[in-house]
Structure 1
């Protein structure tokens, strides 16, 4: 199916903050974690809702669109960097090259209204995600963060389906990580709800969690103004994923409890979490279906939030990137040999997370400051490993926009590669999880037949 023919753009506009905050008149200097991200894709996540009958029977969609735009304009008062654009600071003598957020010279965040002649059931395939449809629900398809010099840093695409509404959000990953992304989304939903009941939401004190925009720098360093480049052509590489199969797998409370208990018994501890046990399971099973030689070194990388790991910790509502990865490493034989069961890799991952404390975070940041570099998707992740991203702790299903609870979450093309796994809260809540797994087609087919994996999956 041709993606360009699946979704019709009806209108677009740009949304600015309802009121211009005084602090937005100054440039936003980006932190070390932000400045490493210009070649990474935008974050693209979206929520699928049932369409209220009133949208068709009473033509209520235009009114809904107006309320979305109004609440977005109010939300951008608090999240004003998202209405800006990137700008490069550059001079020859003394040498200077860096990037900032300019909140003054920008038309604002982009808002697109679109229509797709599909139903909810077309999207919620029981097997593969219909990527030709879903990817078209997002703006900035295949854009990298550096493109935010000329493109919006935030783009909302409201897709009307035959019986559904899909709200797709693309957010520049130099501006924030997953924690920041869902902080924005949660605040937008909160303001929308407050507007519906007539509550005043026009001041900074009117949302429950105002974002903290002051970026964190290691002691002794201020804004980073000395990246080792003179032109963006020296570091920009655009990653194109191979043809992948994408599929969601559901793990219930009961299934995860069994995995956790099994991993703890087999490792002789009580400290392994459900997430660590599940990650170990995915690592083992994907390694098995890839059929590596026994000596092949493989790893499981896990995205980790540094806010609480610094000492003193950063505020949980710090807005920006504050993430790194930790990993467990083993050969294929070590992972799959019979006497190294699920508990063995689960303990490796537990120890990697346990050891990621203040000194480890600062050591990595200090090394980057001394020798700055840009992450490249095609180089940073190797084809022999897996990467566990996103988090089931993010409040995704609490965003309702007057439509009731979403029926599903889906993501765009961004930041996907063979071995990428995204973790989401399960629809029914509790401790359940949904996993979005991306693999080469032949490996996905093998994973669907892997007994150890399928024994824990709840279809």
Structure 2
């Protein structure tokens, strides 16, 4: 490893009392398979350092084994089947108990204050605090579906993870993480209800789905990397008051009181307008705001709110740069609101059926290289700070470098009630301009 991070050990943690006799086979939907070429999402929580008598690593590994017994799909593997009759391949998750990767690392020269820069910048060394920065979902045939890294610092501990997006989404991952922390803090298992798999598949679509072989092969490294502008990561903080003021401004610009916008929508709209204003994109060009939508309560009949699996997909609000910048914050937030509201059962069904009939462009990625797109990932609705492994709650959350393009925004619950933190990956010159933009900074802080 690098960046002052030294790998101490690497091991596989398997679920305790794992039984091969009742192993589960999970078929994959179009929404799962569309993520075949996506990097494993990466997240991590920063904690103060526990006392030396806590036995940190052994307790984390023992409790992880118990958590994997409950969340058994994370201990499985992706299986690829060749369909020789039509030169395609198919995939499913085999819950075979193979286990998750557990990395123990040390960064004895790094402190909590090094991590939490007062200007909001994210230090370059942070990428080494995450496991497996080059795994893609299709790699799950040979690598674990879940990897954990625990990095001990001088005065802190960073617990990070990456996971295969085809087996789970943020709802499922944070639910697992919460269960793991409760098991660790209690020192034993607890009465957890059996895992409810999403058990969802569209009628009329046969599975396993056949995918052209060419769409499943890893894309070669880009030769254009040297010409791509350098990206940097920055933390922007929206306080509860910032958000109230933004909502008041946006809703005053919206004609109908029945169409009031939410905190998430207005914060996303403010970032969208501010980033595009400084991205150098021509006013005639289209600009996209891609939003992650959770389908659990949108399909009919609705699924349980916390059922396990991947039930999200990206959908885009689209307008021209000219309209985005000239029509104001309220109109931008309203576009996002209308987009989210339009994601009904029928919409989901049409998207899945169209994908099934036209399996293509799996390698297109999540964004654009020309600076006309923002991608709003994660959610401030995830309760990330209520994760106590037995020595105290987290003091910060960070996203790893996977799936990074200029315009990727990872939204998190802020540590103060009602606040939202955004970890933004942007071209360096865009960040410089944002930090000098009085209109932008009126509603956001970087400290």
TM-score, with structure 1 as normaliser? 0.90
The reply to whether residue 398 of structure 1 matches residue 374 of structure 2 is: no
- Residues 70-95 of structure 1: CA deviation (Å, up to 9, x unaligned): 11111111211211221211131365
Indicate conservation of the 8 Å contact 2:130/2:149, yes or no. yes
Which of 267, 270, 273 pairs up with 1:281?
270
Cα 1:119–1:43 change in 2 (3 A) is same
CA offset at residue 192 of structure 1? Answer: 1.9
Where does residue 319 of structure 2 map in the other structure?
Answer: 330
- Residues 180-229 of structure 1: CA deviation (Å, up to 9, x unaligned): 2112111211222333xx5x43xxxx225x43225421012342231122
Where does residue 207 of structure 1 map in the other structure?
Answer: 192
Q: Secondary structure at the match of 1:405?
A: coil
CA offset at residue 261 of structure 1? Answer: 1.2
Cα 1:443–1:344 change in 2 (3 A) is same
Aligned length: 438
Cα 1:128–1:65 change in 2 (3 A) is same
Indicate conservation of the 8 Å contact 1:249/1:434, yes or no. yes
Indicate conservation of the 8 Å contact 1:24/1:80, yes or no. no
Which of 31, 34, 37 pairs up with 2:35?
37
CA offset at residue 403 of structure 1? Answer: 2.2
Where does residue 16 of structure 1 map in the other structure?
Answer: 14
CA offset at residue 99 of structure 1? Answer: 1.2
Indicate conservation of the 8 Å contact 1:21/1:77, yes or no. no
Counterpart-to-counterpart distance in 1, 2:427 and 2:421: 20
Counterpart-to-counterpart distance in 1, 2:365 and 2:206: 30
Stretches of structure 1 that go unaligned for 5 or more consecutive residues are none
Counterpart-to-counterpart distance in 2, 1:283 and 1:320: 29
Cα 1:421–1:364 change in 2 (3 A) is same
Which of 291, 296, 316 pairs up with 2:285?
296
Where does residue 253 of structure 2 map in the other structure?
Answer: 266
Indicate conservation of the 8 Å contact 1:284/1:336, yes or no. yes
Counterpart-to-counterpart distance in 1, 2:92 and 2:400: 26
Q: Secondary structure at the match of 2:424?
A: strand
Q: Secondary structure at the match of 1:189?
A: helix
Cα 1:326–1:231 change in 2 (3 A) is closer
Counterpart-to-counterpart distance in 2, 1:113 and 1:129: 26
Counterpart-to-counterpart distance in 2, 1:374 and 1:320: 23
The reply to whether residue 67 of structure 1 matches residue 59 of structure 2 is: yes
Q: Secondary structure at the match of 2:211?
A: coil
Where does residue 153 of structure 1 map in the other structure?
Answer: 145
CA offset at residue 299 of structure 1? Answer: 1.8
CA offset at residue 22 of structure 1? Answer: 6.1
CA offset at residue 23 of structure 1? Answer: 7.3
Alignment map for 1:8-407 (pairs within 5 Å):
8-21=6-19, 25-52=23-50, 54-55=51-52, 60=53, 63-93=55-85, 97-104=89-96, 106=98, 108-116=99-107, 117-127=109-119, 129-195=121-187, 200-201=189-190, 206-207=191-192, 210-229=194-213, 232-233=216-217, 236=219, 243-270=230-257, 271-337=260-326, 340-373=327-360, 375-376=362-363, 378=365, 380-381=367-368, 383-407=371-395
- Residues 248-290 of structure 1: CA deviation (Å, up to 9, x unaligned): 0111111101111111111123421111111111111111111
TM-score, with structure 2 as normaliser? 0.92
RMSD over aligned Cα atoms: 2.2
Indicate conservation of the 8 Å contact 1:301/1:325, yes or no. yes
Counterpart-to-counterpart distance in 2, 1:213 and 1:40: 22
